[in-house]
Structure formats: structure tokens, C-alpha cells
Amino acid sequence: MNITRMMEWDIWGGAIIVFAGPYGMYLLMQWLKQLKRQSALSYNQAANLHNNQHQTLECSTDDTASIHTDTSDERHLLSISSLLHQKIDYIGNQLGHSSDLTVRYLTLSDHSARNSAILFINGLVDEKMISDFIISPVMQNRDSISSILSQQPEQLLSTLHESYIPICKGEMCPSAEYVVSKLLSGSVALLVDGVTETLVMDVKSSNGRNGEEPISEPLVRGPRIGFVESIEDNISILRIRAVDRNLTIQPYELGARNTTKAALVFIRDLANAELVAEVDRRIQTIDIDDLPESGYLEQLIEDDFLSPFPQMQNTERPDRVIAALLEGRIAILLDGTPFVLLAPVTFSMLLQSPEDYYERWLPSTLIRMLRYLAAFIAMFVPAIYISFVSFHHGMIPTKLAVSMAGTREGVPFPPIVEALMMEISIEILREAGLRLPKPVGQTVGLVGGLVIGQAAVEARIVSPIMVIVVALTAITSFAIPQYGAGMPIRILRFVAMFCAATFGLYGVLLFFIMLYTHIVRLHSFGIPYDSPTAPPQAAGFKDWKDFMIRVPLFLLKRRPRMNHPQDSVRQDPNPKPKG
Amino acid sequence: MAVRPSLICKWKLLFSLLIVISLITGCWDSQKIEDLTFAVGVGFDLVTEENSDQSVATASSKLKVTYQNLIPTQTMSSSSSSASTASESYHNITAIGDSVHELTRRVSILTKPISGEHVKVIVIGRKLAEKIELETLLNLFFRDEEFRESCLIFIAREEAARILSSSKIDIPSLLIKSISDNQYRSTKILPTFTLQKAISKLQSNSSFILQTVDVQEGNIIFSGGGIIDGKTHRLTNFFSPNEVQGLAWITGHKEGGLLTIRNQRKETLFIYEIARIKSNMVARVQGEQISFHIRVRSTGRISEDWRNLKTDPKHTKQLVHQSEAQVTAEVKTYLQNTINTMQRYKEDVANFDTTLRIQHPHIWHKVKGDWNRVFSTIPITYDVRIQIEDYGLENMGLSQD
Amino acid sequence: MIHVKTRSESLSAMQIAVLLANNILGTSILLLPGSLSLAMDTPDGWLSILIGGCLVVGCGYLMLWFSRRFPGMTLFECTELIMGKWIGKAINVILIIYFILLCSYEMRILAEVVNLFLLERTPKSAIIIAMMAVSLYLLFGGLNAITRMLTFILPLTLFVLAICLALSLKVFDINNLRPVLGKGFGPVLKGVKETFQSFLGIEALLILPAYLKQWKNTYHAVWLGVGIPTIVYLLTTVIVIGGLTLDGAKITAWPTISLIRSFEYTGVLVERYDSFLLTVWILQIFTVYILYHFYMVEVLKTILAQSKPTIWIFVSLPVIYILAMLPNHINDVYSLLKYLYWLYYFMLLLPVLLVVVSFCRKDIQYGRTS
């Protein structure tokens, strides 16, 4: 060891840089984090003030408050007979006191108020039918009904059904259990105090405007339905497909001025309770005057605002939401937007499509691997091209190297400038094509991609191989099934290119380490973002069955472990023969 | 950690400054690909009076290096010019200097920077190989990591520069490489010898044989081998193509090649096409006496028959036996010839040393220091068994009257 | 009086195995075939590696036994507990020096290789600083982030390495490995020492078990954690010597890279595979560096009795950097390596000393009181 080297300036210069650089970065990060914390603090203070006003305001005008809160309040106030009360309570419990369960009380006799109730789930039933054909006949014939009630209470319901209520489908159910499942499929239940049976009538609504196939996530094979703007419709779309009684809808009213309905949807016996509590806590902290889109919600409750990766998934597809719910994840619906948020999310989920499960396993495995390849190409290929062309000429096969040198002959810019020019222009083209009406957008793409590309090559501003690389990255970034998932790749591609221009392949490697470090440090609602790549337990590697590949469905007997679902069994591992 | 905003501003400034500095000073190694020329072959020669370049050569000049560079193909240009560029897609650059290192410096004055990472072929002129140790020559390539260990080494019969400028149509270096890739089709071509192998052999002080290339009538031909002595690390002798052929039979591991069987009047009788040669070397040690026995097994077929066959089909078997005997005799002459040459030159290039090292390590350690001398006196026996599996069209030949 | 610290982060047995394998696999992938050939002068290196591997597994078992005696405590916490505050701190300072030297060593070797094969004119300082800055980001992520990263890198390394070695079979010749035991057993034993040094990193087993949640399968973890590097070293050595010959492996500075560079597959998309090998090797150096830096921070925490010695982490960076830059030449680095190995043996023997002292001192209670 040469101690005299201690005197040389580059050692000391380097030492200062290696101290000051990272330390400066650290302080910067600390400051940014503090920035968020401070803003949250000041926000909360303001919020508290605001909330007080808000509450006083709410007392005066509560006509917009939901029926659910109304009825539950009144139920406590008024004493109804224990049987009816128990029944309603039971049904309410079964449905997790979801907001869309409506209880409408009726008074059948004058002796006791409210000795009957109609139960239905909002959005699933045609309310006009209920008021016209159930409530109004009952009210009009109250005298005769009240006499039946006092004489033969057991006969009441059948008499009602047979003589008074003009609804075709109706039946008597002795068990409340059955009533719940009928309710979930769009029936209305008539409960009468003192009568054990329940009259269940089918008043299923034709569900408003049907959601068309979502433009942002079209599938070749899969349901052609998407969410719509109304939260009731969206919940009913979910309800229609997911008749599980454990599907719980937890309501929120968000936005101080323009109050918007939101709902946290999860399956009670699947979703991890901690996850639900955490999401609930974060939603409770939101205080903003308006929430026009679920993107607002996403940004207000995400984990790391500095990360380029989305920490919640947004989708317009009900099937995707239901699949996510069945994996033990949660969904957040917001009124006024067809985009539903899913959490938690990992990078691998962003590269999955519902179609992976609808197709047979071999094609979907292939497609999935292609997607990972596409993500890799979209992020790294320009960087690798730069590092090969300007640093590691020896690693290219000889003939390719010579032809690359030939094509770059006469191009005045270094590869990084060339790549930046092309990448930036293609991103602009993409953005331009996106905002324009469809036919015009296509023209822009054609003009930009073909004409400018060709002209640029002929003018020797860029080399033809660069055009190929840029086109390749553009195309591969379209192969990513979700728009939001492609964004980090588009951003990080530029970072990778700068790293490559400084350090060549070593720089690309450093960038990769940095990127992956960021991913392992990032969490989405408690789930590490890189899951299921590196599970803590060896058993966690079983999640790999549905990661880069998609094994046949009969092997996917358990839900992904990374979400820590309460009930991990998806298919009975030891199925009993039916019969 | 509470940090005051003003402090933060200073830090931010410093930090962005750092980033800018690092970006400006960065890209130390960045070099545009079109600014380079790619050398695919390198030739070394000794400059003698008659062929030296008058302008550069001085009395002290010793070495001449020839870089064969590829000219990038101009795909951009229109079709009219592409026809003209096709004829010549390489150019050679020559420099003369005292040492290998000086050569590279001289070259760098002459042309665009040369990238040596794509060098496929190194050709060493005969005179140079006889004059200087191969190690000093190759050391530059081996130490300087620009050149890869996978490039092949050849000895030029005459002058390396001539070989590298021989062909007008093909790029000579690439041509040499693709011919040597053909080695499974001929026993006259030696197995490829990479820089890595040469360094290992030189390090272990064992003799080895390099393919020689020559130019005849403007064509590159592979003609025999040049022996590099293990002690002196210099080129000492040459093998004729026939001796190379014998060497292939000794070392085995061949899957192709031809053997022409002639009669006493030098007329071609038939051609034996080798499907496989397997040879097995056994070292025998009795007391101090070392001896080798080579077992050669080969299968093949008769691919061409020039004999005027008039035997009836009954005698097919006999004919095959007869042919096999003829091939065996021919192979034996090759073998004997090669062994004699090797022992005469006192150069073991057929890996007899490896056999001894593996089979009798203790004896090997005793004779290691003076192996080539010991080798020259060692009795070497062999037996050859040829099996003709396929007669090609012979059956038809037999049936005709 | 002595309470077992509850750690915020925990490891499973599998993660210990992964960290251990990552910690061991480092420079030796490139250097071991050469150094073994030089030390032994016979092609029997693979035997030494097998024996050395078994020996290291034995060592690993002993270390686990030690960790089990002091459950939930790292080696440094034990030293302070057993040797007393001041002697313990002194020993821990030696350990800090050891870890810093290792970090510098890794960085210097990284810079050398990158300079040789990837970026010739880029100053070593830039290469080192960039890598240190990047790994610091991971260090601040904590042990769990490090583990996740390393769990991802290890299979990647093994996969790429396996492909590179499989491709090298093109130049492989079994005769280069023969004769087996041509010079008897003497050189093999000489090689075992060399091998043992290449298992530098086994000392992880004195630190990491403190993070274990449950001891189930931990002994299997040693087998896995040592077995993976043993197999990697074994295959690398066999294929390198088989491909380059013994003399070739002796003379080349970086035999494994030379091997990959000595063949080409034309007609495939890529002709040359050394960049792949270099890539995973750099990743592996990164893992070793990050682990040693992490250990260093852990010792610092123990010495300072501080849970977040942030500023000291930043101070350690220039120290590592200066130490990495001081040697003029790679040969200086190798000659200094000798002292590093002394520290390595010191660290391996430290638990023995601690156990002996703890037997003598009856006043110490350790671990979770029953």
C-alpha cells in the first residue's frame, strides 16, 4: 500500500464526493418526506376546523343522508317487536350492514306502528315496482289487512301475496338464511312482525345503462361489460356477478363541498383484517373539497409519492375487480367515475390481464412471458443500444457491428442525443395521438411514425437501427396490459438511457440495481412491491405458479399467499365426488 | 431530523452541481461506433530489405504489422453505389516498428482508432516466427484485453501481409476462419488453435503445431503445419500436408476427411471417406523404458471407386476385406511417416506428453524437463483397424459384368 | 438485567441460506480457479473444494451452535456482554476495521474488473463511487429489503452462471483434469486452505441467526448456504481447468473470464458471453459489499448503543473509498489480502474465545431466561 497516495487530490476529491453526494441526497429525501408530513399536519388542522363547520351544517340538512343511516337510527328509537327486529338484524349482519341494504317499514295495523318491513338491496331492484305494486296496495287495503293480522297472523303473508300484491314471482321462505341469498339476487323481502315466514318477491331491475366494454382495457375473450359512472350501478354490477354474502360494502362520504359517495369493497372472510383497517384509516384521513376521479383518492392514500410506480391498480373491468376481491384484495369505488381502485398491488399484478385466466394455460403462459419480455425491452433496450454502440463495440457480433457502424456513418449526433430525440418525439406522437379523435389520432401516428422516421433516416439525422429500437420500445410498451403500468417504464427508460450514456453496460447494471432496490423498498398497503419474487418463507415460492407463468387452473388451489388472505383455499385440495 | 429550509436550499444547489459535474465529466469511455475501424485480422512479419517500404523502413525497423479492417457496408446509399462497394469491403493498414507496442502506436497515427475486439485471425509470418519468441509477440494480445482469447493463430508460409491481401472478393481473414471451420471435412486441416490454447501451451513449454496458410495463384490454401518448439518458443519446422494427415490419425477425434488409395502406378483405386477416427494412446513403462502404443480405429465408406471391378457379388466380402487392408496399409504409411518426422524433428506435437502425464504422472515428472529429446527415442507402435461400413454405389459396380 | 432485543426485522431459515450463499459467492468465482491452480500445481482443485466445502459446513454448524447459546444476539453484542464493555468495544472496533477492509477490497476488485473488461478509461473513483452510492440506497432499506434483493439476485446469478459454464463445455477437455491425484494428496491439502479462504463470508452465521424468528430448519440452511457456493466453485474450477488447462489457468489473471472469452458461437444472436458473466459477477460483488456494509453498521449500532447511526454510515463511505483507492496496483491488493485473511481467522476464532470466557464468568446470564 502506498501511503503517499493519500496526498493525491483525486483521492480526497473522491472522498468528499462520496460523502457529500449521498449525504446530500439523504438530506433531500428527508426534506421531501418532511414536506409531506408537514402538509398532512397542516391539512389535518384545517380539516378539524372544517369538520366542525361541516357537522353543524349537516344537522340542518340531512335529506341527502343515506337511507341506511336513517333506518338504523329509527330502528333504535322505535321499539318494534323482537321477532322482526331479530330478523332484520340477522339479515343485516349477514350482509355486513352494507349501505345498499334498504329497510322500509310499513304499518299494517293501527295497534302497533311499524310492524312490517320491506327489505331489498338498492340498485338490484326496481324501486318503482316496489312502491307501485307492494307498498301502495298494502297501504290502500290497510284496514282489511289489519283485520287479517289480528285474526290469523299466520295466514297473512299468503293472503297478501294471493290477494293484494300483484307481483308474479313470489314465494314463502321459512328460513332467514334463504332470504339473504334471495335478496342478493334482486328480490324484495316482506317481513311481518310475529310471522316466522318471509314473503320473497322478485322485482329485479333492469340495470340502468349497461356499461360498454371499457376502452382502456379491451379483451379478446371476456365479459364485455365495464363499470359506469354511478356507484350504485357499479355496486350492483358487482353484486350481480358476486353473490357471495360476505361481499361487504363499506360506505364513505368523501369531499367536504361536493360530497361524493365512495365504497370500500372487500370479502369479509377473505380480505386480511389489517389491510381493511389500514385502507379504512387512510380513507378516513382524506379531507378535500372535491374528489372528481378515483385518481385523486389514489394519490391521497398511496404509500410513496416519490415512486414512479403506481401503488394502486385502477380498472374499469368488473371481472378484474371480482378476481382481485377473491384474492383477498380490496376495491375502492368512487361515485362519478368508472375507474375502480384495487389495492394492494405488486409489479407482477400490473402485468397480468384477466384474459390470462380465461384462455387455456399454455397460451396465457406464453403471453405472460412475452409481457415480461416486453416490459424488459421497453425499459432497457434503448439503454443497451446506447451502451453497445458507444461503449462495448466488442460485444456485438462482428457483422452486426460493421453494419451498425455503416448505418451510423454520417449521423452527426452521439447515440444518446439521437436516442433522446427519437424517444421524446415518439412520446409526443403518442400523447398527440391519444388526445385526438380516433381517426385523426391514427393519421398522426402514421404521419409521425412513418413519414418523419423515414425522412429523418434519409436526412441522416438518425440511424435506421435507432428507428428500429425506438419503434420496438414503443410497440413493446403497448403490450403492457394497463396504461398506468406502462407509465413507470416510460419514465424510467430515460433514466436508464442517461445511466447507459455515462457508464455503458455498468451504468445499466447500476440502474437496474437502483430500480430493483426501489422496488424492494416500496410497499403497497403493507405488501412488498416485488412480491412474489422473494417470499420470506420457502413455501411462498408456490405463488410463482401464477407469476411469470400461469399453471393450469386445477393447480391453483390456493389464493396467493402474498396477500395474506384469511381463507387460503380456493379449490378444495381433496375434492369429494359429487352425486 | 429537522432541517432548516435554507440549509436545504444550499444542499440542493450543491447536489445538483454534483450531478451536473458528474454528467459533464462522465462518458470517459464513450466512443462512437462509426469512429472506429474494426480489425478482423492481424498479420505480423519481419521486415527484410527487399520488401520493406522505402519511405518508412530504416535499418533498425524489425516488425511489420498488418491490420485487416472491415469497411462498413453503406446500406444507406442507393442501389447504384452498392454494387461498387461489394467488390472491396476491406482495407489493410500496415505499420513498421521496433516493438509490438510501438507498432500499435504507429498505427494509431495512420488511421481512425482500431478496435481489436473483433480480431478473428492472427497470422504470423514465417520469418518472424523463426526469429522471435512467440510469447513476446502474443503477450501484447493476451495482456491487452482488447483482443479476445478466441482468435485463431496461423503461420504464413511466406509473408503474412501477402496472405491478408490475397483475395479480392472475400475478406481474407474471414475466409481463413471459415476454411478452418471446415476442418471436419479434411484431415489435412489441423484443429483450430486459439490464442488461449497457444498461451497455455507456451506456458507449459510443450511443442505444438499451428496451421500454415499459403497463397497460391491468388487463392488461400492450407498447407501443412508449423511446429513451435516448446523450449525456444520459436517456429522450427514445417509439416507437409501428408504429415498433417498422419497426425490426424494419431490424435484421432476426426469426423470427416478423405483418403485416396493408389496402386503402385500411382493410379487412384478408390477413395475412402472417413466417417470417424478414434485413436487411443497407451503409454507403457517398463523400468526406465517408455513406449507408446497407438490404437487407431476408423469407420468409413468408399465414396468413389475407380477400379474396374469384375468380380461377382459373392466376392463382395472379400473385396471389402481387401479394400480395408489397402486402407490400413495406407494409414500405416501415413502414421509411420508422421511419427518418423516428429522424432526426427524432436518435436512432440501429438500430445504424447499428455498421455504420459495422465497415465504415468511420476515418470512424467522425471522426463518432463527434457521431453522432446526423450521423445525422439521412444519406440512407438500402432495398430490400425479399418471398417468399411458402406460401399456407396459399389454393389452396382459389382453386378455389372 | 440483560434483555434480548426485539428486532424490528426478522429472517427465516431460507433467507439465512440465501444471504449466506450470497455472502460467500464473490470475487472467488473469477479468482478461485487461478489461485487454486497456482497453489496446488495439479488439476485436483475440485477435490480441495469438496473437502473445503465440507469443512466449512462443519464450521457453520459450530457457529450456529454458538449463536444458539446466545439466542437473539449478534457476535458484537456477545463480545460486549462477555468481554466487558471496554474490551468488547475494542474487539468490535477490530471487527469494524475488518468489515471496512472487506468493503474496500470488494470495491477495488470491482473497479479493476470493470476497468479491464468494460470501461477502460473510466477512472476507478467514478466506478467505485457510483456503486457505493447505489448500494447505500439499499442499505437504508434495512435488512428485509436487502434480503429481498438478494433473494432475487441469487437465482439470477446461478442461472446465468450455469448457462455460461454450459456454453464453455465447447472448449472443455477432460484430459486437462487428469491425472487425478497425480502428485498424491499433499497438494489437495494445500488447496483446502485456499478454498477455505474463498469461503470468506461464512462469518455471516455469527450475525444473521440473531434475526431468526424460529430455529426450524436452520441447520439445513447451512447446508444450502454453503452447498450452493461449493457447487458453483466446483463447477467453475472443473470447467475452467478443463477448458484452459492447468497452465492456462495459472497464467491468466481472471481465468473464468478468459475461459468465456476463448470461444465464440457464431450465428447466434450474441456471439460473446463474457458480458453476461461480468454482469452477474458485478451483482454478486454488490451483494457481498452490501452485506459487509450492513454488518459494519450493525457493529456501529452496538458500539454506539444507538439505533440509527446515520451520520456514521456516511462517514464510513469515504473511509471505504480511500482504502479502496490506496493500493497502486492489483498485486498490492493481493498482497494485502493476506492480512485480511488473518482478520478472517480472528473472527472465526472469536466465538471460541467468547465461549471459553463465558464458561469462566459465571456472573453472566445470556439469552432468554428460561
Banded pLDDT at C6 (limits 50, 70, 90) = low
Each residue's pLDDT tens digit, A540-573: 888 888 888 888 988 888 888 888 888 888 887 6
Chain A residues in contact with C138 by the CB 8 A cut-off are: 513, 517, 520-521
Each residue's pLDDT tens digit, C98-113: 999 999 999 999 999 9
Q: According to the model, what pLDDT value does residue C268 have?
A: 73
Chain C residues in contact with B195 by the CB 8 A cut-off are: 262
All three cell numbers of A94: 349477514
DSSP code for A61: -
| Domain, as residue range, for A242 | 231-345
Q: According to the model, what pLDDT value does residue B136 have?
A: 79
Radius of gyration of chain B (CA): 28
Residue C277 forms part of a structural domain: yes
All three cell numbers of C323: 482504502
What's the rounded Cα separation, in Å, for the pair B282 and B105?
Answer: 50
What's the rounded Cα separation, in Å, for the pair C98 and C108?
Answer: 15
Q: Are B36 and B115 in contact (CB under 8 A)?
A: yes
- How many Cα atoms within 13 Å fall on the side-chain side of residue A534? 27
Whether residue A76 is found in the same domain as residue A163: yes
Q: Residue C261 sits in a domain of what CATH number?
A: 1.10.4160.10
Each residue's pLDDT tens digit, C194-211: 899 899 989 899 999 989
- How many Cα atoms within 13 Å fall on the side-chain side of residue C301? 15
Residue A174 forms part of a structural domain: yes
Given an 8 Å threshold on Cβ–Cβ distance, is A21 in contact with B18? yes
C285: number of Cβ within 10 Å: 22
Whether residue A337 is found in the same domain as residue A368: no
Q: Are A357 and A364 in contact (CB under 8 A)?
A: yes
Measured in Å, how far apart are chain A's first and last C-alpha atoms? 83
Whether residue A452 is found in the same domain as residue A514: yes
- How many Cα atoms within 13 Å fall on the side-chain side of residue B14? 18
Banded pLDDT at A64 (limits 50, 70, 90) = very low
Of C116, C122, C262, the CB nearest to B196: C262
The enclosing H or E element of A342 equals strand A340-343
Q: Shortest Cα distance from B204 to chain A (angstroms)?
A: 30
The one-letter amino acid code at A579 reads G
Nearest Cα neighbor of B30 from C252, C107, C124, A390 is A390
Residue A523, beta-bridge partner list:
A528
Q: What is the dihedral of CA A318, A320, A323, A327, to 10 degrees?
A: -130
Nearest Cα neighbor of A322 from A253, A231, A246 is A246
Residue A524, beta-bridge partner list:
A527
Q: Are C45 and C36 in contact (CB under 8 A)?
A: yes
Phi and psi at A311, nearest 5°, equal -100, 5
Residue B293, beta-bridge partner list:
B282, B381
pLDDT for residue A61 is more than 80: no
Structural domain count, chain A: 3
What's the rounded Cα separation, in Å, for the pair B201 and B230?
Answer: 8
Q: According to the model, what pLDDT value does residue B395 have?
A: 53
Residue C3 forms part of a structural domain: no
Given an 8 Å threshold on Cβ–Cβ distance, is A536 in contact with C128? no
Q: Nearest chain C Cα to A1, which residue?
A: C327
Whether residue A291 is found in the same domain as residue A382: no
Q: Are B235 and B227 in contact (CB under 8 A)?
A: yes
Nearest Cα neighbor of A209 from A321, A80, A123 is A123
Q: Are B41 and B119 in contact (CB under 8 A)?
A: yes
Query: What residues of chain B have any CB closer than 8 angstroms to a CB in chain A?
Result: 1-3, 5, 7-8, 11-12, 14-15, 18, 22-23, 26-27, 29-34, 36, 38, 40, 70, 72-76, 115, 117-118, 120, 146, 148
Q: What is the mean pLDDT of chain A?
A: 82
pLDDT for residue A71 is more than 50: no
Residue C365 forms part of a structural domain: no
Residue C368 forms part of a structural domain: no
All three cell numbers of B61: 525497423
Q: How much is the ipTM here? A: 0.93
Residue A577 forms part of a structural domain: no
Q: Where do the domains of chain B lie?
A: 35-72+87-239, 241-401
The one-letter amino acid code at C188 reads V
The enclosing H or E element of B219 equals strand B219-228
Going across the sheet that includes A101-106, the strands are A101-106, A116-121, A187-192, A198-202, A170-173
Banded pLDDT at A2 (limits 50, 70, 90) = low
Greater pLDDT, A525 or A443: A525
Q: According to the model, what pLDDT value does residue A146 have?
A: 80
Q: According to the model, what pLDDT value does residue C24 have?
A: 93
pLDDT for residue C5 is more than 80: no
Q: Which of A369-383, B32-46, C25-39 has the lowest mean pLDDT?
A: B32-46
Whether residue A322 is found in the same domain as residue A403: no
User: What are the C-alpha distances in Å from A472 to residues A511, A518, C184?
Assistant: 21, 26, 59
Residue A553 forms part of a structural domain: no
Of A510, A530, A536, the CB nearest to C134: A510
User: What are the C-alpha distances in Å from B199 to residues A358, A462, B149, C37, C246?
Assistant: 59, 43, 9, 16, 12
All three cell numbers of B98: 521496433
Q: According to the model, what pLDDT value does residue A45 have?
A: 56
Q: Where are the alpha helices (DSSP H) in C119-185?
A: 124-139, 142-168
Whether residue A195 is found in the same domain as residue A263: no
What's the rounded Cα separation, in Å, for the pair B140 and C255?
Answer: 17
Whether residue A254 is found in the same domain as residue A133: no
Structural domain count, chain C: 1
Chain B residues in contact with C122 by the CB 8 A cut-off are: 28-29
Given an 8 Å threshold on Cβ–Cβ distance, is A505 in contact with C118? yes
pLDDT for residue A254 is more than 80: yes
The CATH number that domain B241-401 falls under is 3.30.300.210
Q: Are B355 and B396 in contact (CB under 8 A)?
A: no
Residue A31 forms part of a structural domain: no
List Cβ<8 Å contacts ≥24 apart for C173-178.
C173/C242, C173/C243, C173/C245, C174/C242, C175/B354, C175/B358, C176/C43, C176/C241, C176/C242, C176/C243, C176/C244, C176/C245, C176/C246, C177/C43, C177/C46, C177/C238, C177/C241, C177/C242, C178/B357, C178/B358, C178/C43
Interface mutation target, options B7, B34, B145, B147, chain A, most CBs of A under 10 Å: B34
What's the rounded Cα separation, in Å, for the pair A548 and C156?
Answer: 14
Query: Using CA of residue A178, residue A181, residue A184, residue A185, what is the dihedral sign?
Result: negative
Greater pLDDT, C291 or A103: C291
| Domain, as residue range, for C277 | 13-350
pLDDT < 70 stretches in chain B? 1-27, 48-61, 73-88, 100, 140-145, 168, 183-184, 308-314, 390-401
User: What are the C-alpha distances in Å from A225 to residues A340, A379, B311?
Assistant: 14, 32, 86
Given an 8 Å threshold on Cβ–Cβ distance, is A397 in contact with C133? no
Each residue's pLDDT tens digit, B49-94: 554 455 544 445 578 888 888 887 654 444 444 444 444 578 888 8
- How many Cα atoms within 13 Å fall on the side-chain side of residue A206? 1
Mean of pLDDT values over A351-367: 91
Residue C318, beta-bridge partner list:
none
User: What are the C-alpha distances in Å from B379 to residues B148, B357, B372, C167?
Assistant: 40, 17, 13, 40
Cis peptide before A532 (omega within 30 of 0): yes
DSSP string, A237-287: HHHHH---TTEEEEEEEE-SSS-EEEEEEEETTTS-HHHHHHHHHHHHH--
Cβ-based contacts under 8 A for chains B and C: 67
The residue out of A507, A528, A549 marking a domain boundary is A528
Of A28, A402, A501, the CB nearest to B27: A501
Interface mutation target, options C114, C150, C151, C329, chain A, most CBs of A under 10 Å: C151
Each residue's pLDDT tens digit, A165-179: 888 878 888 777 778
What pTM value is reported for the model?
A: 0.87
Q: Are B357 and C179 in contact (CB under 8 A)?
A: yes
The one-letter amino acid code at A218 reads P
Whether residue A474 is found in the same domain as residue A388: yes
Residue C117 forms part of a structural domain: yes
Cis peptide before A344 (omega within 30 of 0): yes
All three cell numbers of C171: 472448449
What's the rounded Cα separation, in Å, for the pair A70 and A62?
Answer: 9
Residue C63 forms part of a structural domain: yes
Residue A565 forms part of a structural domain: no
Q: Nearest chain A Cα to C11, which residue?
A: A536
What's the rounded Cα separation, in Å, for the pair A470 and A534?
Answer: 32
Q: Are A180 and A124 in contact (CB under 8 A)?
A: no
Q: Where are the alpha helices (DSSP H) in C169-217?
A: 186-198
